[in-house]
Amino acid sequence: MATICEICGKHKATGAKIIRHGLCKKKGGIGLHTTAVTKRTVKPNLQKVRAIQPGGGVKTMTVCTSCIKAGKVLKG
């Protein structure tokens, strides 16, 4: 399945999960220290829907749920 919305172009995003340990300086510690950084991806919630085209006809599209809720797709 494609990982991009055909309406808004939403696609997967990359980032990092940062784990910190220690007592923060505000509470009397020596500060937070990063002990691990893990790469991660966030994928959009994509669904295959049968959408009605403007000129008439039906096409199967891969669309995110936020576009379906916003009414940007006419399901048919």
CATH code for the domain of 54:
2.30.170
Calpha distance 12→20 (Å, rounded): 25
User: Domain for residue 75, yes or no?
Assistant: no
Calpha distance 22→33 (Å, rounded): 6
Tens of pLDDT along 9-50?
999 999 999 999 999 999 999 999 999 999 999 999 999 999
Tally of domains in the chain: 1
User: Domain for residue 76, yes or no?
Assistant: no
User: Domain for residue 7, yes or no?
Assistant: no
Q: Is residue 1 scored above 70 in pLDDT?
A: no
User: Domain for residue 47, yes or no?
Assistant: yes
In Å, what is the CA distance from 42 to each residue of 27, 58, 75? 33, 30, 26
User: Domain for residue 44, yes or no?
Assistant: yes
pTM, rounded to two decimals: 0.73
Cβ count within 10 A of residue 68: 17
User: Domain for residue 34, yes or no?
Assistant: yes
46-52 and 58-64 beta bridge pairing:
antiparallel
Q: Which domain does 30 fall in, by range?
A: 13-70
